[in-house]
Structure 1
Amino acid sequence: MSSRPMSCDKSELRTLFLFEKLTDDQLARLCLEGRVELFDPGPVYTEGDPATCFFVLMEGTVVLSRRVGADDVEISRTSQRGVYAGAFQAYLGDWARGATYNGSMRVTEPSRFFVLPASTFAAIMRDWFPMAVHLLEGLFFGSKNTQQVINQRERLLALGSLSAGLTHELNNPAAAAVSATAALRERVAGMRHKLGMIAAGRYEPETLRTLVDIQERTAEQVAKAVPVSPLDASDREDELGDWLDDHGIQGAWQIAPNFVQAGLDTDWLDQVAAAVDEQTLEGAIRWLNYTVETELLMNEIEDSTTRVSTLVNAARQYSQLDRAPFQNSDVHELLDSTLLMLSGKIGKRITVVKEYDRGLPPIPAYPGELNQVWTNLIDNAVSAMNDGGGEGTLTVRTALDRDRLLVEFGDTGPGVPPEIRNRIFDPFFTTKPVGQGTGLGLDISWRIVVNKHHGSLDVRSVPGDTRFQVRLPLTAAESDADEPDIEPQRVSQTSPEAS
C-alpha cells in the first residue's frame, strides 16, 4: 500500500454527504484527529487484517471484494464521493474490538480518502450521537439475535420433519421383523411336529439321511435364490402346482409360491420323491416346506434388521454426532445419508438419479453443516416438484469443476421465475404459504457454503430444469466464524449450465 498524507480542509469535508450537517467545531475535530491520504492504484486494506481505520472516499474509484476460496469476488465498484468502508462498526464497543476487515478494498486510480482511526471514530460517534449509537447497537444486536433465534427455529423445523420421516422409515422394517418373528415361531413349531411324525414313521436310516441332506441343500438354495419377474414366477408356480397335484399333495397353491421364491423346481421335487415312498411323500414335502418358510422368514428378519441398522447408521452419519466438526469428508457418503433420511419425504412418485463421480477425493469440510445444505436443497426441489404435480426426477450429480468439487441438485419442477431469482438467497424470502417456510433455508445454505466453506452456491433455472450448484474447494481454508460486514454477491443465472 502506497499513500501520501495531504492537508485536511474542513470546507471540503462539508461537501461529503456524511458530514454536511456537522458544525464547524465538529469538522475541525475531524481534521484534527483524522487525516487525508492519497493512495496510489493498488490495495488499501486486505481482508483479515485488523480493522484499524474508517475510510471515506473523497476522489477516485474504489473496488470492494471478498475472498471466496482461491478467488477474489468483486462486490462493488464506485466513484461516488462520500462512500465509506472499513471499520464503520467500530462504535459497537467491545464487540468491535479486535475485529478484522471482512473484505478487501483497492483503488484503480490515484484516490483520496478521509481516514479516521477506528478508536477515534468510535469516540466521536459516542460523543456526538449517543442516542443514534444506542439505536444502532440495538438494531445490530437485535437483528443478530433475531437471526440466530430464527436460524435455530429453522433447524428445529428441519429436525422435526427429519424425525417424523425417520420414525416412519424405522416403523416399517421393525413391524416386518415382529411379524416375521411371530410367523417363524409358528413354522418352527410345525417343523418340530412334522419331524416327530417323520421320526415315528417307517423310514430307513438311509432314507432319513437323504431327507436331511435334501433339507440342507434346500436351505442353501434359499440363500442363493435369485428373484424372478412376476411373469416367470407365475409360470413356475403353475409348473410346480401341477407336479404337486399329480403326486396327490394337498394345498399345492400354498406350497408352490414358497418353492418358487426359494428357487426350487420340479427336478428338486423329483429328488425328494425318489428318496421316499409314495405314502410318506406328502409329509416329507410339507416338512421341507417348513424348512423353506423358516429360511425365507429368517431372510426377511435379516433384511428388516439390516434396514433398521442402515437407517441408524444413516442418522448417525447425517447428524455427525460421533464425528469431529471439521474433517476430510466423502461427499457421496453425506449425500447418500441425507437422501436416505429424506426418502420418506421424497416419496415414490419422484425418481432419484445419482450421477456420482466416485473418483473425487474427500474434501475438508464441516460434514454436519453440509448435510443441512443438502437437506435444504433437496427439500426445495421436492417441494417444487410437488407443487408442479407431485411427480418428477431429482438428479444429484458430483463432478470436478476445475479446482473445485461440484455438487448439483437438479429437479424437473416448474423452475424459479426470473423476477425472484435474485432474491431467493435473501433472508426471510419465501414463496411458500404462511406457516410452511421461514425463508431461511437457502440463506442458511448460502452462509454455510460461502462463508464457512469458502465455496459458492448458484442457481440456474428454466421450466423443467432447475439446478442448484454447490462448488467447494478441494483444499482446506480458514473458515469465517463471524457474520461478514460485506458479503459476496449471491449469484443467479438465467439458463442451465451445459454439461
Structure 2
Amino acid sequence: MSADRLSPDELRGLFLFESLTPEQLAHLAEHGRVERRRAGEAVYVEGEPASCFYVLLDGTVAMHRRVQGDEVEVNRTSQRGVYGGAMQAYIGDPAEQRYQGSLLAVTDCEVFVLPAAIVAAAVRGWFPMATHLLEGLFVGMRNTQTIVGERERLLALGALSAGLTHELNNPAAAAVRATSALRGRVAKMRHKLAMIADGRLDGRRLHDLVALQEEAVKRAAAAPALSPLAASDAEDELADWLDEHGVRGAWELAPTLVAGGLDTGWLAQVDAAVGGDDLESAVHWITYTIDTELLMGEIDDAVTRVSGLVGAAKQYSQLDRAPVQTVDVHELLDATLVMLQAKIPAGVRVVREYDRSLPTVSAYAAELNQVWTNLIDNALGAMAGEGTLTVRTGRTDDRLTVEIADTGPGVPPAVRPRIFEPFFTTKAVGEGTGLGLDISYRIVVNKHHGDIRVRSEPGDTRFTVLLPLTPA
C-alpha cells in the first residue's frame, strides 16, 4: 500500500470487493484514496452532504446518531472492511443525500475513501439489475418501516399510558372520596363543638376536653394495625361501654374509635372530664376528630402514591436527563415494574432480590429501561397469568448482573440459539412484532459493551444482563 492509495490486489483483500474483476478493481483503486483520522476525530458528520463512501482499513470507529439533540452511540467496531457513508449513492442524485449518522474514530484509524459519484456510477453500471432490486428494497422498507414504526410507537405509548392512568386513577379516586367525606366530618365537628361550648361546660372542663382531643389525635397517628378478629372484639367491647353510658349510635362510633387506638379506659377519662350529661356530644366530637385524622391520612397516602407514580414515569422515560448518566439499576428496575404494574396478572408474584451494596454504573438509562421492559414483558407472557417473577441483582467479577427469572415452561432448545436474531419471534401473528431480544442484545452488547445470557429449563428461565462496572 502506498502513502495514499491501495493497489487492486490490496482492494481484493477487502470482503466488499473480493468478487470484482481486475478492471473494476483497477477503476476503484484509481479513484479511491487512503485517509487517516486521529482518535476522537470525525470520519464524517451526520446531516452533511454524503459525498464519500468509506471502508475501514485499521483502527476502531463508532457510529453515532443524533436523537433529540443528544449524541447516541449506535455501534462500535474494529472489523477491517466494514463500510459506511454514501451507501445509497446509487439512488437518485447523490448531491441530495446526506449522512444518516456520524462516524467517529475511537482510535487512530485508516479508511479507504471513494467519491459518492464513483460509487453510484460503478453500482449502476456494473450491477444494473441489483441496483433496481436494491432501490425497490430500500424505498419499500423505508416506507414500511415508517408506517409500522409509527404504529408500534403509538401502540406502545397507548399501552404505557393506559397502565399509568389506571394506576393513577385509584389513588386519585381515593383522594376525591376522602376529601368529600372530610368536608362532612368537619361540618359535624363544628356542630358538636357548638353544642359542647354553649355554656354547659365551664372553662376548665372544656380545656380538659380539648387536651383529650389532642391526645386522641396522637393516639390515632400511632394506632397499631389490628387483625380482623382483634378489631371485632375491641369494637364489641367499646360498643357495650357506650351503650351502658347512654351514648346513641354506639355501633357506628366503635369502629372509628378502635381504628384511632382508643379503648374503654380512655373513654372513661372523657366521661370524667365532661360528665354524663355531655358525654354523648363529647364522644361524637372526638369520633369526628379521629375520623378527620384518618381521612387526612388517606389523602396524604393517595397524593404520595400519585407523586410516586409520576416520579416512576419520569425515571422510566428519563425525561430532561442526559443520555449517558451514572445510575442506580435498582431505581431503573423499580420504575419499570411500576410502569408495567397494570400488565402483571393477579396470579403472578413479584419477588425483588436486590444487592443494595452494588455501586452505580455509567449507562444509557432510557435504553436499559427498554431492556428491562422487554425481558419482564416476555417473562409475564411465558407464565400465562400464574407463577413467580424474580428480579435479582448481583455482581460477577467486575460486572454488575441483573437477572429476570420466571417460572414458565422455558425456552425450547431448538429455539434458544435464534432468540437474539432480528425479527425472530415465537408469538402468533398479530400478537406483536417480536420478543424485543434483538434490540435488548444491541443495547447491552453494542452500546454498553456488556453481555446478555439465557439459561432455561421448564419452571426456571433466567435472562442475565451483565454490565461493566467501569465504563468502557
Shared fold per TM-score greater than 0.5: yes
The normalised TM-score by structure 2 is 0.78
Q: Residue 447 of structure 1: which of 442, 461, 468 is its match?
A: 442
Q: Residue 402 of structure 1: which of 397, 406, 417 is its match?
A: 397
1:327 aligns with: 325
2:380 aligns with: 382
2:270 aligns with: 272
1:58 aligns with: none
Q: Is the 8 A contact 2:355 2:393 kept in 1?
A: yes
2:341 aligns with: 343
| 1:309 and 2:307 aligned | yes
Aligned to 1:200, what secondary structure does the other structure show?
A: coil
Could you tell me how far 1:419 is from its partner in structure 2? 1.9
Could you tell me how far 1:437 is from its partner in structure 2? 0.8
Per-residue CA deviation, residues 137-158 of structure 1 (Å, 9 max, x unaligned), is 5435654664565445433322
1:463 aligns with: 458
Aligned Cα RMSD in Å? Answer: 4.0
Q: Residue 211 of structure 2: which of 213, 232, 242 is its match?
A: 213
Q: Distance in 2 between matches of 1:158 and 1:355?
A: 28
Per-residue CA deviation, residues 322-349 of structure 1 (Å, 9 max, x unaligned), is 2222211111111111111211211432
Could you tell me how far 1:196 is from its partner in structure 2? 0.9
Q: Distance in 2 between matches of 1:206 and 1:7?
A: 109
| 1:176 and 2:174 aligned | yes
Could you tell me how far 1:299 is from its partner in structure 2? 0.8
Could you tell me how far 1:224 is from its partner in structure 2? 1.7
Which residue identity lines up with residue 362 of structure 1 in the other structure? T
Q: Distance in 1 between matches of 2:137 and 2:206?
A: 88
2:422 aligns with: 427
Q: Distance in 1 between matches of 2:444 and 2:139?
A: 24
Between 179-188 and 325-334, the greater mean CA deviation after superposition: 325-334
Q: Distance in 1 between matches of 2:106 and 2:120?
A: 20
Output aligned runs, 1:47-126, within 5 Å. 53=55, 86-87=82-83, 92-93=88-89, 124-126=122-124
Q: Distance in 2 between matches of 1:96 and 1:127?
A: 23
2:34 aligns with: none
2:236 aligns with: 238
Q: Residue 291 of structure 1: which of 286, 289, 292 is its match?
A: 289
Q: Distance in 2 between matches of 1:468 and 1:219?
A: 50
**Taking CA–CA contacts closer than 8 Å with sequence separation of 6 or more, which of the two structures ends up with the larger relative contact order?**
1
Q: Is the 8 A contact 1:34 1:117 kept in 2?
A: no
Between 346-355 and 437-446, the greater mean CA deviation after superposition: 437-446
2:433 aligns with: 438
Could you tell me how far 1:85 is from its partner in structure 2? 5.0
Q: Distance in 2 between matches of 1:416 and 1:458?
A: 13
1:414 aligns with: 409
Q: Is the 8 A contact 1:34 1:116 kept in 2?
A: no
Gaps of 5+ in 1: 36-45, 56-65, 76-83, 105-114, 478-499
Aligned to 2:200, what secondary structure does the other structure show?
A: coil
Q: Distance in 2 between matches of 1:274 and 1:471?
A: 69
Per-residue CA deviation, residues 190-234 of structure 1 (Å, 9 max, x unaligned), is 111111111125212211111000001111111122222222222
Aligned to 1:354, what secondary structure does the other structure show?
A: strand
Q: Distance in 2 between matches of 1:88 and 1:319?
A: 31
Q: Distance in 1 between matches of 2:267 and 2:244?
A: 12
Q: Distance in 2 between matches of 1:231 and 1:49?
A: 73
Structure 2 CA distance for partners of 1:232 and 1:459, relative to 1, 3 Å: same
Q: Is the 8 A contact 2:345 2:386 kept in 1?
A: no
Aligned to 1:202, what secondary structure does the other structure show?
A: coil
Q: Distance in 2 between matches of 1:359 and 1:475?
A: 16
Q: Is the 8 A contact 2:323 2:366 kept in 1?
A: yes
Structure 2 CA distance for partners of 1:354 and 1:8, relative to 1, 3 Å: closer
Per-residue CA deviation, residues 71-128 of structure 1 (Å, 9 max, x unaligned), is x9999xxxxxxxx954499764367899869999xxxxxxxxxx99766777643431
Q: Distance in 2 between matches of 1:457 and 1:155?
A: 25
Could you tell me how far 1:360 is from its partner in structure 2? 1.6
Q: Quick one: percent identity of the two aligned structures?
A: 59
Gaps of 5+ in 2: 31-38, 44-52, 64-72, 90-96
Which residue identity lines up with residue 429 of structure 1 in the other structure? F
Structure 2 CA distance for partners of 1:194 and 1:97, relative to 1, 3 Å: closer
Which residue identity lines up with residue 376 of structure 1 in the other structure? N
Q: Distance in 2 between matches of 1:154 and 1:222?
A: 50
2:469 aligns with: 474
Q: Distance in 1 between matches of 2:396 and 2:407?
A: 23
Q: Distance in 2 between matches of 1:7 and 1:186?
A: 91
Which residue identity lines up with residue 427 of structure 1 in the other structure? P
Per-residue CA deviation, residues 276-332 of structure 1 (Å, 9 max, x unaligned), is 212221111111101111111111111111111111111111111122222111111
